[in-house]
């Protein structure tokens, strides 16, 4: 964690010198001031964590049993990875596929993975997609991406 | 089971292309149209856009939706509008900011990234001070700014390089004052600037008259000038800058455009439909109630106007030090 | 009395109540905010008489702010930004099976907070509005610092980790166009990053999606098919009266904090809820219970955010200055009704102002009834098996985040921060300070820097102006009182022996 802090502050300090100084007379009020201040705090935190974090490993151990159990069990870590992957896929394909197609596919795959039988998953997927469509598009008049279905007039 | 889904996907894709082929032959419009609004729902631009959406839907017989794509001082919405499919089903609601986005380094966009349809609105900022300030006209104000030491006079109005900030810089330059002599307190819009002025935390603000009408008519603030070519019939007591010897006019405007490569018949169809709406009495009533000025420029005239402004504002932004080199 | 009777015609009541029902849906939907609910309603009101439009707007905002607490309590997904603080103890109570009590408390305290806020609006608004005008960058800076200091109050465990989370949020808040120079910071030429990182998708990801990931990691596949909540989820109103009476001082305190912060044009219901939560913990007899499902931790934010709504109307009615994003839209809509928002509303049309007050009061009664049905409708969702519920939460959160700005970029943020939130909890970095940093970062930075521009770099006005000095003093007291007291006591006891 300490390493992450140091890395983030390093990146900030590398970028901020390129910021203009702005209309202010004092250098204190330019756009780089605040990020630099935060970066310095992060360096302090990083150093602290590196020195004390390892000694106080108790914080980490508290969740170890749970982790171990879940790793040993029925591939739940894999489920979580698939969940994240599905989400990422949804984000990437939303504009192309359009909301209706993307949501149906996403929901069926996700529920399938979580142990719902296919007919049920399809049914729920249709219910959710329909509800969202009615609420957002019809009631709130917020347009959702139509994607490839746009050619058929959705 | 996943195979089944794949088949479904391929089929819907195939259907999509099939129908797309057919749609080209059909008459425009055959499906809902979207208007991209680069500002948040509930704001001024959004309110007018929603009025046009209703009116256009009646005109063309298809639903018209307003899509709010906000962020980056309008950059996000303008970018979406320029990159949309050029089929006439996405209309961009252009605002003043299109002239500043490139020069601020927010997005590589100029008015030339669109086919202009028409401009439907123009609003000039007013120069507003507190009612109990000693200034009676622009001359008093300018003289006092010149007399005060550098950096003591505080202006406000909206964000940096906004439609209320750039005309202010034009005004100062024309009056022979270096814009750096005064301080500009940026705010997120006209409302917080009015708050600052009423609280006595700044000296002058520039924003449209209707935005401050309640406070002006309530006796808390007063308007010294508007930056228009002639007085506004809704508030005829406010003189123009030109009457007071400062040769500056201009402010914000709004209009519609479509992405480049949109077919010419579609462009003409939309121009005619919008033109009809702007000619109606209902539209004029709507705009005057909301405190928006009406100014219509069609097609190429609108495009030329934007490019003239674009070039002029580049110099103003340079003078103000906003230009990204 | 005539005013109230004039409101009880079907032409007013039907749209009024319908919009309040809509408010429950919008509020309970992650991503859709109360502001958005109002923005959606406004175009419908242009063809109605002004009071109908105003009744719809008032109604929808009160129910939406309450309804944001429903998913916050049951799913750990804040329905509106103002419910961010409601997640902390509400969801903990739910995990202990006390969700029904929490949500019943939410509803009754929201109503009560709203009522007190409106009463303050009716009685002392001219004084408060004049006071609010005295606030400028120096005062807002201190207010934001005070809000941020709440992250120290609410952090449990390692202080350094709390600071790491808070500073992380602050760093994220600097992404995007810088207000005082217009320079796009940390945007790397990417137009979406210039728009900044909106805290709503981040909040949905950090709290909501991360909780789904955690559930997937900790629930065995066999349990997935069971109903999400086995016991029947019913709002528990029996013990509410007792709990509320026990906390009457807290309800009063939170209402006043909420209304005051709401009345400031530069701060709204979300900040009010966090400050009320922090202050509740500071003044509580059992501060250690906060964050583990404390009743007080539920009451304070939910009371304050509804009270803040009444507060936001104070500058709006007295000066025509918006108290938050909702009243900003309202003032625009008033122009369309042919009203001149501004001091004229008070001087001119007393009838309308009285009607607005009456609508705001009666709306609280409607809220109590409609909120009850809203909870019922929502809990029906839990009869589904757990895996279906999880898929549902995910998709509603994602689409809600999309709808916020119709932006796929925001959906990406939800997913990224979902993963980050899960990781942060694994290494016991607290989430609330991160959100607080992200929300308050721009407020602190802008007010500090623009304040310094005003003074040519001098810090003196941050301490010399009366209200600023007061804030600085309060902050000092809040954080120095306990250690100093301990020190003195240790000295004294040492002296005694």
Please tell me which chains touch C, using 3 or more CB pairs under 8 Å as the contact test: A, B
Where b means 16+ CB within 10 Å and e means fewer, C441-458 reads: bbbbbbbbbbbbbbbeee
- pLDDT of C253 reads 93
Residue of B268, B254, B263 lying closest to B85 (CA atoms): B263
In this structure, the dihedral spanned by the alpha carbons of residues B130, B132, B135 and B138, taken in order and rounded to 10 degrees, is 30
How far off is chain B from C93, nearest CA to CA, in Å? Answer: 36
pLDDT, mean of residues C127-141: 84
Cβ pair B321:A23 closer than 8 A: yes
- pLDDT of C148 reads 86
pLDDT at C439 over 90: no
* Number of CB pairs, chain A paired with chain B, less than 8 A apart: 42
Strand ranges in chain B using DSSP code E only, listed in sequence order = 33-37, 64-68, 90-95, 114-123, 125-130, 154-156, 183-185, 204-208, 221-226, 252-259, 297-298
In sequence order, the 6+-apart residues with CB closer than 8 A to the CB of A41 are C163, C167
Is the minimum CB–CB distance between A117 and chain C shorter than 8 Å?
no
Most confident range (mean pLDDT) of A21-25, B92-96, B160-164, C191-195 is B92-96
CB C323 within 8 A of CB C312: yes
pLDDT at B283 over 70: yes
When CB atoms are compared, the residue of C22, C164, C213 closest to A45 is C164
When CB atoms are compared, the residue of C405, C406, C453 closest to B183 is C453
Q: What is the mean pLDDT of chain A?
A: 71
In this structure, the dihedral spanned by the alpha carbons of residues B187, B188, B189 and B194, taken in order and rounded to 10 degrees, is -40
CA distances to A33, A34, B3, B26, C350 from C446, rounded to whole Å, are 11, 10, 54, 53, 38
pLDDT at A57 over 50: no
**Which of A48-57, B64-73, C385-394, C477-486 is predicted with the least confidence, judged by mean pLDDT?**
A48-57
CA–CA separation, A116 and C281 (whole Å)? 43
**Which of A51-65, A68-82, B44-58, B216-230 is predicted with the least confidence, judged by mean pLDDT?**
A51-65
pLDDT at A6 over 80: no
Which pair of tokens denotes residue C166?
């808070």
pLDDT at A67 over 80: no
**Which of A47-51, C7-11, C281-285 is predicted with the least confidence, judged by mean pLDDT?**
A47-51
Compute the C-alpha angle C488/C145/B71, nearest 5°. 165
Q: Nearest-CA residue of chain A relative to C424? A: A1
Cβ pair B68:C340 closer than 8 A: no
Cβ pair A34:C449 closer than 8 A: yes
Residues of B with Cβ-Cβ distance to A141 under 8 angstroms: 65-66
Is the minimum CB–CB distance between A143 and chain B shorter than 8 Å?
yes
Cβ pair A139:C212 closer than 8 A: no
- pLDDT of A21 reads 53
What is the percent of chain B where pLDDT is above 70? 91
Compute the C-alpha angle C310/C439/C483, nearest 5°. 95
CA–CA separation, B244 and B138 (whole Å)? 7
Cβ pair A140:C32 closer than 8 A: yes
Compute the C-alpha angle B96/B97/B100, nearest 5°. 115
CB C96 within 8 A of CB C232: no
Compute the C-alpha angle B81/C40/C442, nearest 5°. 70
- Could you read off the pLDDT of B241-282 as tens digits, one per residue? 999 988 888 889 999 999 998 999 999 999 999 999 999 999
How far off is chain B from A73, nearest CA to CA, in Å? Answer: 25
- C residues 72-131 near B, CB within 8 Å? none
C319 burial (CB, 10 Å; 0-12 / 13-18 / 19+) is buried
Q: pLDDT higher for A28 or C410?
A: C410
Cβ pair B1:A112 closer than 8 A: yes
* Number of CB pairs, chain B paired with chain C, less than 8 A apart: 143
The ipTM, to two decimals, is 0.81
Which pair of tokens denotes residue C88?
């902390």
**Which of A24-28, B248-252, C154-158, C473-477 is predicted with the least confidence, judged by mean pLDDT?**
A24-28
> Are domains B31-123+251-320 and B125-244 of this chain identical in fold?
yes
Please tell me which chains touch B, using 3 or more CB pairs under 8 Å as the contact test: A, C
Residue of B124, B85, B304 lying closest to A147 (CA atoms): B85
Q: Which CATH superfamily is domain B125-244 in?
A: Periplasmic binding protein-like II (3.40.190.10)
Cβ pair B15:A152 closer than 8 A: yes
Residue of C31, C369, C38 lying closest to C200 (CA atoms): C31
pLDDT at C311 over 80: yes
What is the percent of chain C where pLDDT is above 70? 94
Which pair of tokens denotes residue B43?
């704001």
CB B158 within 8 A of CB B187: yes
pLDDT at B215 over 60: yes
How far off is chain C from A42, nearest CA to CA, in Å? Answer: 7
- Say what the pTM is: 0.83
CA–CA separation, C344 and B275 (whole Å)? 36
- pLDDT of B19 reads 45
- Could you read off the pLDDT of C418-427 as tens digits, one per residue? 999 988 888 8
Cβ pair A151:B20 closer than 8 A: yes
Which pair of tokens denotes residue B146?
């010149």
- pLDDT of C302 reads 93
Q: What is the mean pLDDT of chain C?
A: 84
Taking the alpha carbons of A105, A106, A110, A116 in that order, is the dihedral positive or negative? negative
Q: How many CA atoms lie within 13 A of B67 on its CB side?
A: 27
Would you tell me the crossing angle of helices B264-279 and B281-290 to the nearest 10 degrees? 70
CA–CA separation, C120 and C256 (whole Å)? 8
In sequence order, the 6+-apart residues with CB closer than 8 A to the CB of A4 are A46
- pLDDT of C390 reads 84
Cβ pair C191:B75 closer than 8 A: yes
When CB atoms are compared, the residue of C174, C212, C224 closest to A35 is C174
Cβ pair B186:C450 closer than 8 A: yes
Length of chain A: 154
Please spell the DSSP secondary structure of B270-313, one letter per residue: HHHHHHHHHHSHHHHHHHHHHT-----EEHHHHHHHHHHHHHHH
Side by side, which strands form the sheet with B33-37?
B64-68, B33-37, B90-95, B252-259, B114-123, B297-298
Compute the C-alpha angle C211/C216/C218, nearest 5°. 90
Is the minimum CB–CB distance between B180 and chain A shorter than 8 Å?
yes
- Could you read off the pLDDT of B34-67 as tens digits, one per residue? 899 998 887 889 889 989 998 999 988 888 888 8
Q: Nearest-CA residue of chain C relative to A129? A: C395
At the top level of CATH, which class does the domain B31-123+251-320 belong to?
Answer: alpha beta
Is the minimum CB–CB distance between C323 and chain B shorter than 8 Å?
no
Confidence category of residue B16, pLDDT binned at 50, 70, 90: very low
CB A39 within 8 A of CB A12: yes
Compute the C-alpha angle C392/C395/C398, nearest 5°. 145
What is the percent of chain A where pLDDT is above 90? 0
pLDDT, mean of residues C190-194: 79
Three-class SS of residue C177?
strand
pLDDT at B150 over 50: yes
pLDDT at C342 over 80: no
- pLDDT of B297 reads 93
Q: Nearest-CA residue of chain C relative to B49? A: C43
CA–CA separation, C125 and C118 (whole Å)? 10
Q: pLDDT higher for B154 or A73?
A: B154
Is the minimum CB–CB distance between A72 and chain C shorter than 8 Å?
no
- Could you read off the pLDDT of C352-392 as tens digits, one per residue? 888 889 999 999 999 999 998 888 888 777 777 878 888 88
Cβ pair C407:B71 closer than 8 A: yes
Which pair of tokens denotes residue B263?
């077919």
How far off is chain B from C9, nearest CA to CA, in Å? Answer: 27
pLDDT at C247 over 80: yes
pLDDT at A153 over 70: no
CA–CA separation, A30 and A51 (whole Å)? 33
- pLDDT of A2 reads 62
Task: Report CA Rg, chain C.
Answer: 22
Is the minimum CB–CB distance between C347 and chain B shorter than 8 Å?
yes
pLDDT, mean of residues B126-148: 91
Cβ neighbours of A148 (radius 10 Å): 22
Domain borders along chain B are: 31-123+251-320, 125-244
Cβ pair A26:C426 closer than 8 A: no
Residues of B with Cβ-Cβ distance to C405 under 8 angstroms: 68-71, 76
pLDDT at C255 over 90: yes
Please tell me which chains touch A, using 3 or more CB pairs under 8 Å as the contact test: B, C
Which pair of tokens denotes residue C34?
């109360």
Residue of C296, C459, C401, C341 lying closest to C77 (CA atoms): C401
Residues of A with Cβ-Cβ distance to B66 under 8 angstroms: 141
Is the minimum CB–CB distance between A149 and chain B shorter than 8 Å?
yes
- pLDDT of A1 reads 62
pLDDT at B178 over 90: no
- Could you read off the pLDDT of C51-82 as tens digits, one per residue? 899 999 999 999 999 999 998 888 888 888 88
Cβ pair C185:A31 closer than 8 A: yes
Confidence category of residue A28, pLDDT binned at 50, 70, 90: low
pLDDT at C340 over 80: no
- Could you read off the pLDDT of A94-144 as tens digits, one per residue? 878 888 888 888 888 888 878 778 888 888 888 888 888 888 887 777 777
Most confident range (mean pLDDT) of B110-124, C324-338, C462-476 is B110-124
């Amino acid at each position: 964690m300490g390493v992450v802090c140091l890395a983030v502050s390093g990146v900030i300090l590398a970028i901020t010198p390129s910021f203009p100084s702005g209309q202010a007379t004092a250098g204190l009020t330019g756009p780089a001031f605040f990020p630099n201040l935060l970066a310095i705090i992060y360096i302090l935190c990083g150093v602290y964590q590196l020195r004390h974090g390892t000694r106080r490993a108790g914080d980490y151990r508290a969740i170890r049993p749970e982790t171990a159990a879940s790793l040993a069990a029925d591939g739940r870590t894999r489920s979580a990875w698939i969940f994240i992957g599905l989400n990422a896929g949804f984000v990437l394909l939303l504009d192309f596929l359009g909301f209706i197609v993307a949501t149906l596919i996403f929901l069926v795959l996700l529920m399938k993975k979580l142990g719902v039988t296919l007919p049920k998953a399809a049914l729920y997927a249709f219910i959710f997609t329909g509800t969202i469509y009615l609420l957002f598009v019809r009631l709130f008049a917020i347009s959702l991406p139509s994607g490839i279905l746009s050619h058929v007039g959705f | 089971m996943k195979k089944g889904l794949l088949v479904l996907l391929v089929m819907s894709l195939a259907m999509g292309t099939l129908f797309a082929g057919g749609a080209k032959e059909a008459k425009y419009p055959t499906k809902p149209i979207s208007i991209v609004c680069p500002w948040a729902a509930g704001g001024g631009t959004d309110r007018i856009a929603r009025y046009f959406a209703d009116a256009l839907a009646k005109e063309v017989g298809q639903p018209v939706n307003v899509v709010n794509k906000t962020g980056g001082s309008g950059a996000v919405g303008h970018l979406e509008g320029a990159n949309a499919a050029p089929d006439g089903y996405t209309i961009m609601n252009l605002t003043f900011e299109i002239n500043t986005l490139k020069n601020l380094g927010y997005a590589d966009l100029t008015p030339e990234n669109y086919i202009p349809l028409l401009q439907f609105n123009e609003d000039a900022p007013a120069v507003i001070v507190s009612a109990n300030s000693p200034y009676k006209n622009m001359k008093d104000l300018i003289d006092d700014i010149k007399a005060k030491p550098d950096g003591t006079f505080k202006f406000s109005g909206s964000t940096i390089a906004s439609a209320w900030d750039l005309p202010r810089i034009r005004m100062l330059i024309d009056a022979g004052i270096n814009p750096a002599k005064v301080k500009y307190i940026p705010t997120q819009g006209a409302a917080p600037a009015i708050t600052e002025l009423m609280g006595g935390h700044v000296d002058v603000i520039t924003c449209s008259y209707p935005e401050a009408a309640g406070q002006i008519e309530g006796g808390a603030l007063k308007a010294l000038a508007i930056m228009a070519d002639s007085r506004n019939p809704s508030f005829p007591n406010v003189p123009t800058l030109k009457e007071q010897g400062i040769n500056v006019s201009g402010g914000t405007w709004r209009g519609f455009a479509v992405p480049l490569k949109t077919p010419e018949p579609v462009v003409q169809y939309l121009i005619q439909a919008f033109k009809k709406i702007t000619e109606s009495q209902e539209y004029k009533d709507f705009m005057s109630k909301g405190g928006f000025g009406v100014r219509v420029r069609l097609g190429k005239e609108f495009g030329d106007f934007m490019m003239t402004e674009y070039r002029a504002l580049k110099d103003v932004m340079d003078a103000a030090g906003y230009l990204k080199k | 009395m005539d005013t109230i009777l004039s409101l009880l015609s079907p032409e007013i009541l039907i749209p009024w109540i319908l919009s309040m029902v809509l408010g429950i849906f919008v509020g309970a939907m992650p991503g859709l905010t109360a502001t958005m609910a109002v923005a959606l309603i406004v175009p419908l009101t242009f063809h109605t008489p002004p009071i109908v439009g105003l009744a719809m707007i008032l109604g929808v905002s009160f129910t939406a702010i309450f309804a944001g607490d429903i998913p916050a309590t049951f799913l750990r997904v804040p329905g509106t930004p103002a419910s961010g603080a409601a997640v902390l103890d509400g969801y903990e109570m739910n995990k202990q099976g006390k969700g029904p009590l929490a949500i019943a408390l939410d509803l009754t305290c929201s109503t009560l907070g709203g009522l007190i806020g409106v009463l303050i609006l009716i009685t002392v608004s001219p004084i408060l509005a004049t006071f609010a005008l005295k606030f400028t960058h120096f005062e807002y800076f201190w207010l934001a610092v005070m809000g941020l200091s709440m992250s120290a109050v609410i952090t449990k465990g390692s202080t350094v980790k709390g600071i790491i989370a808070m500073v992380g949020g602050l760093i994220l808040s600097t992404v995007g166009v810088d207000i005082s120079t217009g320079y796009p910071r940390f945007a790397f030429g990417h137009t979406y990053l210039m728009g900044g990182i909106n805290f709503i998708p981040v909040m949905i990801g950090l709290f909501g999606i991360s909780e789904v990931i955690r559930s997937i990691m900790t629930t065995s596949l066999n349990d997935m098919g069971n109903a999400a909540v086995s016991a029947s989820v019913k709002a528990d109103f029996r013990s509410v009266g007792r709990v509320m009476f026990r906390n009457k001082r807290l309800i009063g305190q939170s209402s006043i904090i909420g209304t005051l912060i709401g009345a400031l044009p530069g701060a709204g219901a979300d900040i009010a809820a966090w400050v009320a939560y922090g202050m509740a913990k500071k003044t509580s007899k059992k501060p250690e219970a906060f964050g583990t499902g404390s009743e007080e931790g539920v009451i304070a934010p939910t009371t304050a955010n509804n009270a803040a709504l009444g507060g936001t109307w104070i500058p709006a009615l007295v000066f025509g200055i918006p108290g938050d994003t909702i009243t900003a839209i309202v003032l625009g809509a008033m122009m369309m009704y042919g009203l001149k928002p501004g001091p004229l509303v008070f001087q001119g049309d007393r009838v309308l102002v009285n009607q607005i007050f009456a609508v705001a009061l009666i709306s609280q009664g409607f809220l109590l009834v409609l909120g009850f049905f809203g909870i019922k409708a929502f809990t029906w969702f839990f009869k589904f098996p757990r895996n279906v519920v999880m898929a549902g939460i995910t998709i509603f959160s994602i689409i809600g985040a999309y709808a916020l700005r119709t932006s796929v970029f925001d959906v990406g943020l939800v997913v990224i921060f979902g993963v980050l939130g899960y990781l942060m909890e694994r290494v016991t970095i607290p989430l609330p300070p991160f959100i607080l940093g992200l929300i308050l970062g721009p407020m602190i930075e802008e007010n500090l820097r623009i304040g310094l521009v005003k003074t040519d770099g001098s810090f003196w006005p941050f301490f010399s102006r009366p209200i600023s000095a007061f804030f600085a003093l309060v902050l000092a007291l809040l954080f120095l009182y306990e250690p100093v007291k301990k020190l003195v006591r240790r000295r004294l006891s040492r002296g005694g022996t």
